[in-house]
Amino acid sequence: MQYHLDTIPVWEAMEWKMECPLCGLEHKTEAEEIKRALGASVMEPSVRIEFNQRGVCREHQPMLFHQQNRLGHALLMDSHAKEQLVKLEKLQKQADADSKGRTSLFSKGSSVDSILDVLHDMNEHCVVCEAIATHMARYHFTFLHLWKTNADFQAAWKGSHGVCLPHSVALLESAQKHLNLTQQNALAAELLGFLTQHLSADEQDLDWFTRKFDYRNQDAPWGNSKTALERVVNRLRGWCIGDTSYPKRNNHTAP
């Protein structure tokens, strides 16, 4: 797959000075896709067709709902529900026929298998998730291109906090496609170095946070421990708790 090289968003993410710039970029992309889904594109036939076929997952439905555009949300869901009903009605006819003994529900390759295949397919797609994944694949490619070719980016990267564990995985998976073996090994060493260094510091802060609840330490200073829980969770699982305002612009603060 060929990716368009768009360096500006990746550079901007590095300049936000977040614990994980790719988390910030992913949240920005998610917010834009949510707005796009309920914006003027609601009435575009291509968007409606895509939404009708795939729908939106459980995680992104509340985000659509909180946009306070109930009519737009309702229009999208109404057309999606109509298409899903067509599929369900076909499945119901198949199940009704099978329940009358025309086929064995427990035989190899039974109709239950095919019914489950369709139900899984109906349940596992999300236009927002898929759009984010497409954008992030391009950003990972761009990140790697800058990492291997741009000295200024290398300097910014080395002065950063690295990226979270999930985005370390994503970058290494992308590196297997776009970097040679020597470059892959160098990137892996840098990613693991950042993760080990900063998670170690975060864990020490988190340990002190728990010790502060001992009455013997009540007068001791908190240090950097008050945000340690957020930093540990977000570094291990990606930006998911704490301050979710976007973007973070103060230096070296947890997302």
- Domain tally, the chain: 2
What pLDDT sits at residue 246? Answer: 54
Q: Is 29's pLDDT higher than 90?
A: yes
Q: Per residue in 78-98, pLDDT tens? A: 999 999 999 999 999 888 887
Using the 3D structure, point to which of 76, 110, 125 is the last residue of a domain.
Answer: 125
Tens of pLDDT along 146-159? 999 999 999 999 99
In the predicted model, what is the mean pLDDT of residues 21-39? 93
Answer with the one of 107, 125, 143 that is the final residue of a domain: 125
Residue 250, pLDDT score: 40
HSE of 6, CA atoms in CB hemisphere, 13 A: 12
Domain residues for the domain of 76 are 61-125
How confident is the model over 37-64, as pLDDT tens digits?
Answer: 888 777 778 778 888 999 999 999 999 9
Same domain, yes or no: 86 and 115 = yes
Determine if residue 238 is left, alpha or beta; phi over 0 gives left, psi from -120 to 50 gives alpha, anything else beta. Answer: left
10 Å CB burial of residue 175 (0-12, 13-18, 19+) is buried
pTM of the predicted model, to two decimals?
A: 0.84
Rounded Cα–Cα distance for residues 252 and 123 (Å):
39
Do 113 and 89 belong to one domain?
A: yes
Q: What is the mean pLDDT of the chain?
A: 89
